[in-house]
Structure 1
Amino acid sequence: MSYVDVFNGDADGICALHQLRLASPQKSQLVTGIKRDVSLLQKVQAGSGDEVNVLDISLDKNRDDLHRLLEAGARVRYFDHHYAGEIPQHAALETHIDTDANVCTSLLVSRYLDSAYLAWAVTAAFGDNLYSAAQQAAVPLDLSSEKSEQLKLLGTCLNYNGYGSSLDDLIYHPDALYRLLAPYSDPFSFIHEEPGYAKLQQAYHTDFDRVTAITPDYVDDGHALYVLPDARWARRVSGVYANQLAQQNPQRAHALLTNRPGGGYVVSVRAPMNNLKGADELCRQFETGGGRQAAAGINHLPTEDYDRFVAAFRVAF
């Protein structure tokens, strides 16, 4: 028997796996990648007697490989909050899928584990820009304002690390970042004791200072669209900056288009915080688009589709 843990390389995927493995320590093969590398099951080979955990990647984007693994005899446990489409019915498949806009995968795992590692789920919810959900989930923890802000920054930094066009853009490979977290059952111990976290914070603050100098290409009362340069720092910070803009201007939808090295754009979309829906539907109009109701993206928007995207963005929100 072998164990395989497949997880999105962002805060939610990492914290979801961390909770599961704190509850059930087990040596496993780790399969992950940059945040937008969501077709991860194609990298998995598993068969009869093997157990596969899948965390924070769309079932719809991995449907064929999920069927392949089930037919090969693997048992699969699936936690996610992205658009799933029709969920297969199979004796070897256990699903915990909820696409509500105020839920993230780590909160689903926390629910499954009876809140055993709730502070890590709160961290992930902050990282996924679900501030209200994070604060509501954190009530039993009775956090001070200072500790709440520490978890918010931690979640933001973990999420920031997942963005890039390749692993070379990232500060840490996501499996390496997970391994930094693995010894810590308490996120506050990680915050105060892990030297690698200071490195991640410094990079985040440096990149964030750069991006705040960029002005929008298009803005009105309900929309703002920014175009970022073809630079590693811009690719790293695009998603968390989109989250920050959404928090600062809750009545607006936001789109950040980052120039790709080979042409075209990588797109991050955030629905208005006061109406968390529509981002996934907008992005699925384009070939490489997907995501969830509140936050979605397009992996490659051709340059010639810029005007079509702007028009669709204005209509969607």
Structure 2
Amino acid sequence: MHYNVFNGDADGIIALLQLHLAQGHEQAPYQLITGVKRDINLLQQVDSSKATSVTVLDISLEKNSQALQHLLSAQVPVFYVDHHRTGDIPQSPLFTSILDTDANTCTSLLINDYLNGKYVYWAIAAAYGDNMHASARALAKKVALSELQQGQLNELGTYINYNGYGQALSDLHFHPAELFKLLTHYPDPFELIAQQDSIFSQLKTAYLADMEKAEAAKVLSDNDLVQTIVLEDAPWARRVSGVFGNALANQAPDKAHIVITLNPPKTPQSEEREQSYTVSLRAPLNNKQGAGELCAQFPTGGGRAAAAGVNALPKSRLDEFINQVSSYYQQ
């Protein structure tokens, strides 16, 4: 059995979609392993006794190194494509990788190069979804897309990315594996966009409703360096936290943006000391560095240079986190 292991956001889904479309009818039976966007410890779910090969897309090698080593030791070939922190890269004839941590690329753009642009429209949508607008526009210009077409792919990527955010799969509108399967029917994303009552229109309606609530959220702090927004403990807030951070970054590209969402208590009897925040950090678009490094200093934190997060930041450490972000971008 071949395993496809991928992030549940736009970049992970569309990276796999491009590979799937390129393989056509030649693909062997496969198993999908994915989850909410922040669920990146996915490689450990692969059954090495059943796996004949594994493709890994858009999840940090650094966070999955132990499971990767286990698969390689079990003589399972692994193809790994990603743009997050790598840590130590294994040296094995069974390991093939395309790893690039440049802040202006993403996994779907790496797959686009690998496939020589065969599904470039989908790659552009993914880049928009990962908030890499400059890279998306550059590629769109290269293939002569109109402003209208660029705007449509921007929307599509944003909505697919929005669907991946949540604390649990129950927060999402579509399970990422289900969404991937639905998208495989559309080699041309413009066909999906034009279809009435499609996934595109369903996600658009939900996205706009959630964003309207987010725009009324409380501003905890705001200065020339960083803005911090607080969202409530609710499914809509967990769904919108990442894409709202992207929107804020595009509106004010010279400052960092922090979006925090209160996590539900672990049990009804949990004490205040156990409460924590889910944190989304966006580096200034005009200075896309440091986000992953900053978040990695906290337990459950990580990401890439331009965008990162912390899954469970204790409430008592929020001020510390904000101060560290301010100090970093003041340099």
Instruction: Tell me the TM-score range normalised by the shorter chain.
Output: over 0.9
Report the Cα offset of residue 92 of structure 1: 0.4
Identity of paired residues, percent? 48
1:296 to 293, 304, 308: 308
Report the Cα offset of residue 215 of structure 1: 3.5
1:77 partner letter:
F
Report the Cα offset of residue 165 of structure 1: 0.3
Match of 1:111 in 2: 113
Cα deviations across residues 242-292 of structure 1 (Å, max 9, x unaligned)?
000000100000001100012210000000000100101110110110000
Distance, in Å, in 1 between the alignment partners of 2:231 and 2:280 is: 11
1:87 to 89, 93, 96: 89
Equivalences for 1:1-317 in 2 at 5 Å? 2-25=1-24, 26=27, 27-47=29-49, 50-193=52-195, 195-262=198-265, 263-317=275-329
Distance, in Å, in 2 between the alignment partners of 1:209 and 1:85 is: 39
2:135 partner letter:
A
CA change 1:48–1:217 in 2 (3 A) is closer
Q: Are the counterparts in 2 of residues 110 and 118 from structure 1 also a CA contact under 8 Å?
A: yes
TM-score normalized by the length of structure 1? 0.98
Q: Are the counterparts in 2 of residues 255 and 269 from structure 1 also a CA contact under 8 Å?
A: yes
Cα deviations across residues 171-219 of structure 1 (Å, max 9, x unaligned)?
1000011011011110101112262222111110100011001231100
Distance, in Å, in 1 between the alignment partners of 2:134 and 2:15 is: 19
Structure 2 unmatched runs, 5+: 266-274
Report the Cα offset of residue 49 of structure 1: 7.0
Q: Are the counterparts in 2 of residues 48 and 72 from structure 1 also a CA contact under 8 Å?
A: no
Q: Are the counterparts in 2 of residues 15 and 120 from structure 1 also a CA contact under 8 Å?
A: yes
Cα deviations across residues 121-164 of structure 1 (Å, max 9, x unaligned)?
10000000000000111223211111110000000000000000
- The more displaced of 89-98 and 208-217 is 208-217
SS at match of 1:301: strand
Report the Cα offset of residue 47 of structure 1: 4.6
Distance, in Å, in 2 between the alignment partners of 1:118 and 1:79 is: 17
4+ residue runs of structure 1 moved beyond 3 angstroms? Answer: none
* Length, aligned pairs only: 316
